[in-house]
């Protein structure tokens, strides 16, 4: 019999370890894309990140390895990990398929996916994923008049919900929706309609949505998603 320290861990333990690493990867990636950690900025230490995320330091180290392979960060011996991701211009953000998607087509797909997405997320999200959602909400609530930053954080809130479903196909589909939302027409709409007053209204709405998710109140969360879609539809019709 192999010594205990050389035995292969059970499949369930290995799966849990992999899932935890992916959680750290997804969380740090969202923070980097949302510019909580800016380009060239040094990330907090592994110890600080482990404490912040409630995971083992070795888990953070493995997640940082993944982010470095993906080109999001650069690790310098003795200095730490530095953000290399620099975002992208709105015109460069979309794939060819997303670029061919018109505003109403995009709205139709959101109407199909988002209500059931939040339903599945509430059923599947572990507490730490809800905590991460709360962190994104806090960043959203700190925005006063930066329409682009609010829109980007809104994307990350929804992306976090998609990831919370635990369904990789749904995540891939919703990433395409986010891609389509980054078209130039959407950026122009944000500049015209995401006024400080409207940002405050949306902040209150997302706060209510988060409370519904934290309470596992599927009906209230789905209702918010539907009302949010109706509000966006009204804005699109005004643009027309």
Matching residue, tokens 């990140």: 49
Contacts for 210 with CB less than 8 Å, ≥ 6 apart: 133, 134, 137
What is the span of the domain harbouring residue 13?
A: 4-83
Q: Do 78 and 29 have their domain in common? A: yes
Element (DSSP H or E) covering residue 70: none
Instruction: Return the structure tokens found at 112.
Output: 């199909």
The 10 Å CB-count burial string (b at 16+, else e) for 174-189 is bbbbbbbbbbeebbeb
Residue 3 has pLDDT above 90, yes or no: no
What CATH number does the domain containing 157 carry? 1.20.120.530
Query: Could you identify the residue written with the tokens 């209230």?
Result: 220
C-alpha radius of gyration, the chain, whole number: 19
User: What's the whole-number mean pLDDT along residues 83-105?
Assistant: 67
The percentage of residues in the chain with a pLDDT greater than 90, rounded to a whole number, is: 42
Query: Is the domain of 98 the same as that of 78?
Result: no
Q: Is the pTM of this model over 0.85?
A: no
Last residue of a domain, one of 60, 83, 106: 83
Q: Do residues 127 and 63 share a domain?
A: no
Instruction: Please compute the mean of the pLDDT values over residues 190-200 and round it to a whole number.
Output: 85
Q: Taking the CB of residue 28, how many other CB atoms lie within 10 A of it?
A: 25
Average pLDDT of the chain, as a whole number: 83
Q: Are 165 and 117 in contact (CB under 8 A)?
A: yes
Number of domains in the chain: 2
Where helices occur in the chain by DSSP H, the ranges are 11-33, 46-53, 57-69, 96-99, 103-124, 127-141, 147-164, 168-181, 184-193, 196-214, 218-239
Q: What's residue 76's pLDDT?
A: 83
**CATH number for the domain harbouring residue 66:** 1.10.10.10
Tokens standing for residue 24: 């750290």
Do 117 and 196 share a domain, yes or no?
yes
Backbone phi, psi, residue 82, to 5°? -120, 140
| pLDDT band of 202, cuts 50, 70, 90 | very high
Q: What's the pLDDT band for 9 if we cut at 50, 70, 90?
A: very low
pLDDT for res 180: 82
Q: What is the pLDDT of residue 236?
A: 77
Residue 70: is its pLDDT beyond 70? yes
Q: Which of the four pLDDT bands, split at 50, 70 and 90, describes residue 184?
A: low
42, 61, 83 - which closes a domain: 83
**Cβ partners under 8 Å of residue 3, min gap 6:** none
Same domain, 108 and 61: no
Do residues 107 and 12 share a domain? Answer: no
Is pLDDT at 8 greater than 60 in this prediction?
A: no
Residues 106, 214: one domain? yes
Residue where one domain finishes, among candidates 52, 83, 114: 83
pLDDT at 133: 93
| In a shared domain, residues 62 and 101 | no
Burial degree of 211 (CB within 10 A; 0-12, 13-18, 19+): middle
Look up residue 33 and give its two tokens: 């894309």
Q: Look at 12-16, 20-24, 51-55, 127-131 and tell me which has the smallest mean pLDDT.
A: 12-16
* CA pair distance 51, 22, nearest whole angstrom: 17
46/96 same-domain check: no
Q: Which residue has the higher pLDDT, 191 or 139?
A: 139
């Amino acid at each position: 019999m192999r010594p205990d320290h050389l035995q292969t861990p059970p499949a369930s333990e290995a799966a849990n370890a992999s899932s935890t690493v992916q959680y750290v990867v997804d969380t740090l990636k969202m923070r980097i894309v949302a510019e909580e950690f800016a380009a060239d900025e040094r990330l907090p230490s592994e110890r600080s990140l482990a404490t912040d995320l409630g995971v083992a330091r070795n888990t953070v180290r493995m997640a940082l390895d993944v982010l470095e392979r993906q080109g999001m960060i650069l690790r310098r011996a003795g200095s730490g990990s530095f953000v290399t991701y620099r975002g992208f211009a709105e015109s460069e953000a979309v794939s060819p398929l997303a670029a061919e998607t018109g505003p109403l087509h995009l709205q139709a797909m959101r109407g199909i996916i988002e209500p059931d997405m939040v339903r599945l997320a509430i059923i599947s999200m572990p507490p730490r994923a809800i905590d991460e959602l709360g962190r994104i909400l806090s960043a959203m609530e700190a925005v006063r008049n930066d329409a682009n930053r609010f829109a980007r954080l809104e994307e990350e809130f929804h992306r976090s919900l998609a990831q919370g479903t635990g369904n990789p196909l749904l995540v891939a589909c919703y990433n395409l929706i986010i891609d389509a939302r980054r078209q130039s027409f959407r950026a122009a709409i944000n500049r015209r309609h995401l006024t400080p007053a409207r940002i405050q209204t949306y902040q209150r709405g997302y706060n209510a949505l988060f409370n519904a998710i934290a309470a596992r109140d599927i009906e209230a969360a789905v209702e918010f998603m539907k009302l949010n879609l109706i509000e966006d539809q009204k804005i699109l019709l005004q643009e027309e």
